[in-house]
Amino acid sequence: MEPKTWIVTGANRGIGLEFVRQLQARGEDVIATARDPEAATELCELGVRVEQLDVADPVSVAGFAALLEGESVDVLLNNAGAMERAGDLGSIDYDLMRRQFDVNTLGPLRMVEAALPALRLGGRKLIATLTSKMGSITDNTSGGSYAYRTSKTALNMVNRSVSVDLAGEGFTCVVLHPGWAQTAMGGENAPLDVAASVTGMLKVLDGADAGHNGRFFNYDGEELPW
């Protein structure tokens, strides 16, 4: 396969960092982003292009969009995300919920808008966004996690609209659940190794075409219910 250019957000640690490692190992070009590039030692050591980006900050996103002017990008990988507890029913922290929406729901949408001119110049036209099974209404039998769950459910709808709006231009837009993976977010008891999660997701993305547009996949390729 010809090398592609990928944008990976939240690339300084966890799943994002592993995506960059595996993409670099197979010869792809990567534009990796981090909120604080100077502190992103492991990422910078890989020698890929690193840019500053906070997906919750419109000024930062606009600055990143300006950097991309005239460039062509094949894949936008919306990986950055946050999970904080907004409290239990009766003591919900609404400011925290708003902040979580800003990162998990509005952030990826801002990034689609920011990267669209570059993606239109690219050949692959793929937008992949990391969601979570915790955003699945069908799968929610344990309740709670108001901020994280709702921000990811809304994210799934963002992806669905983007997938419809861009289908005519040949884009494929999917949301992916990485499995419960060992990262700062997943915790050390997570059953899935980050490398296996990312290898699985890359396989799904390599096979993604128009027939996959607007759909929700597990890291192993299984389709997940909304």
Ligand X SMILES: NC(=O)c1ccc[n+]([C@@H]2O[C@H](COP(=O)([O-])OP(=O)(O)OC[C@H]3O[C@@H](n4cnc5c(N)ncnc54)[C@H](OP(=O)(O)O)[C@@H]3O)[C@@H](O)[C@H]2O)c1
In the complex with ligand X, the residue whose CB is nearer, 56 or 86, is: 56
Q: Does 14 bind ligand X (CB under 6 A)?
A: yes
Among 56, 126, 127, 175, binds ligand X (CB under 6 A): 56
In the complex with ligand X, the residue whose CB is nearer, 107 or 214, is: 107
Among 159, 172, 183, 213, binds ligand X (CB under 6 A): 183
Among 5, 100, 105, 132, binds ligand X (CB under 6 A): 132
- 174: phi then psi, degrees, rounded to nearest 5: -125, 155
In the complex with ligand X, the residue whose CB is nearer, 45 or 209, is: 45
CA distance 175 to 94: 26
Contacts of 34 (CB under 8 A, 6+ apart): 10, 11, 12, 40, 43, 50, 51, 52, 53
User: Which stretches of the chain are assigned E, i.e. beta strand?
Assistant: 5-8, 29-34, 49-52, 75-78, 126-130, 172-177, 216-218
Tokens of 139: 């799968």
In the region spanning residues 137 to 176, those forming contacts with ligand X, defined by CB under 6 A, are none
Q: Does 99 bind ligand X (CB under 6 A)?
A: no
Closest distance to ligand X from the beta carbon of 203 (Å): 17
Residue 187, exposed/middle/buried by CB under 10 A (0-12, 13-18, 19+)? exposed
Query: Where do contacts with ligand X occur on this chain (CB under 6 A)?
Result: 9-10, 12-16, 35-36, 53-56, 79-83, 103, 107, 130, 132, 177-178, 180-181, 183-186, 190
